Amino acid sequence: MKTIKGPGLFLAQFAGDAAPFNSWASITKWAADCGYLGVQIPTWDGRLLDLDKAAASKAYCDDIAGVARENGVVVTELSTHLQGQLVAVHPAYDEAFDGFAVPQVRGNPAARQAWAVDQVKKAITASRHFGCNAMVTFSGALCWPFVYPWPQRPSGLVETAFAELARRWRPILDHAESQGVDVCYEIHPGEDLHDGVSFERFLAAVGNHARANMLYDPSHYVLQCLDYLDNIDIYHDRIKMFHVKDAEFNPTGRQGVYGGYESWVNRAGRFRSLGDGQIDFGAIFSRLTAHGFEGWAVVEWECCLKHPEDGAREGAAFVKDHIIRVTEKAFDDFAGGGSDEAANRRLLGI
């Protein structure tokens, strides 16, 4: 068993144009002051990181990491959620997702995809420069418009979609193998990899690639009514990253999983700040610890009610209180009588 590292904080929801959230130096100091030991970097935000420089120069990454260390935190991992989304986009979502890309490739799906692949590969290389062995991303989606089988899906549609998704991701995974970095897909609605079954389908399509792994975020499973503890038991060998995010699901006679197009605050399923939702994090930390998870517990603040800065401060303390320092001895060692093979045979009567 390993003691989970943390608390860490994903900076995507906090980066902004006002101090202390508008520069790497000030946001890392703020995170440390909140009680965090590590930060996860959104690689698309130039206020925090120049991804081109990070991919090209280990010295640049050393400088970024050095500033963080001086302020009391380390770099836990990099994120390419937005770029990963653009590796595979169904045409129905072209305009909605175009804003994730740089202006030069907007309106050109082929150029946008090539840019996204290059971005994810650069982030993998930068991860190696930072000494990080995992990077989180989204899979993108070709099949999501057909997630509900009405009208009936044509035979082979899903298989074709996942074969194409695998074709697009396989060179990225091979690059990750060359860099010694795990690609951790956040299993998330809106992605073709949105639950365990769809992840397994993708895994088979990429030949069980060793670098195709998972980020575990129980909030997305609560909103799907999926057993988030059983999920750990099933996929613990592939779970390499962990977002600590709370949620609640309160169905009524008027709405359920799909939410009736309501705003987040009015949905049956809502993301909440840590401790305000329904997730049993005591059981999650126990289950991950028992299975030997050795990564970071990283807070991802998303709440439809609470102010983010309050959520961040409370989240650091919440994670710290849930991390289990693993024991180095058995609780009943005091009663051990010692043994040897001869004694064992006598006890068994053989």
| Dist CA 311 CA 293 (whole Å) | 25
Q: Which of 166, 181, 176 is nearest to 87 (CA)?
A: 166
High-pLDDT (> 90) share of the chain, %: 94
CATH of domain 5-348: 3.20.20.150
Residue 228: C-alpha distances to residues 83, 185, 219, 222 (Å): 27, 16, 9, 7
Eight-class DSSP state of 153: P
Cβ-contact 231, 221 below 8 angstroms: yes
| Dist CA 185 CA 189 (whole Å) | 12
Average pLDDT over residues 312-331: 93
Q: Output b/e per residue, 38-55; b: 16+ Cβ within 10 A.
A: bbbbbbbbeebbebebbb
pLDDT of 337 over the 80 cut:
no
In this predicted structure, which of 147-156, 246-255, 259-268, 329-338 has the lowest mean pLDDT? Answer: 329-338
Cβ-contact 2, 293 below 8 angstroms: yes
**Domain map of the chain by residue range?**
5-348
| Dist CA 231 CA 151 (whole Å) | 30
SS3 of 186, please? Answer: strand
Dump pLDDT digits (tens) for 21-32: 999 999 999 999
pTM for the model: 0.95
**Could you tell me the end-to-end alpha-carbon distance of the chain, in angstroms, rounded to an integer?**
34
Strand-pair category, 182-186 with 74-80: unpaired
Neighbours of 110 (CB within 10 A): 8
Strand-pair category, 246-249 with 269-272: antiparallel
Cβ-contact 7, 32 below 8 angstroms: no
Cβ-contact 76, 39 below 8 angstroms: yes
Cβ-contact 140, 191 below 8 angstroms: yes
Q: Find tokens 């520069």 and name the residue.
A: 23
Read off the amino acid at residue 172: I
Mean pLDDT rounded to a whole number for the chain: 97
Dump pLDDT digits (tens) for 82-113: 999 999 999 999 999 999 999 999 999 999 99
Take residue 145 and report the two structure tokens written for it. 């418009």
Read off the amino acid at residue 89: V
| Dist CA 108 CA 120 (whole Å) | 18
| Dist CA 49 CA 43 (whole Å) | 6
Q: Where are the beta strands (DSSP E) in 217-254?
A: 239-244, 246-249
Dump pLDDT digits (tens) for 201-257: 999 999 999 999 999 999 999 999 999 999 999 999 999 999 999 999 999 999 999
Burial of 82 (0-12, 13-18, 19+ CB in 10 A): buried
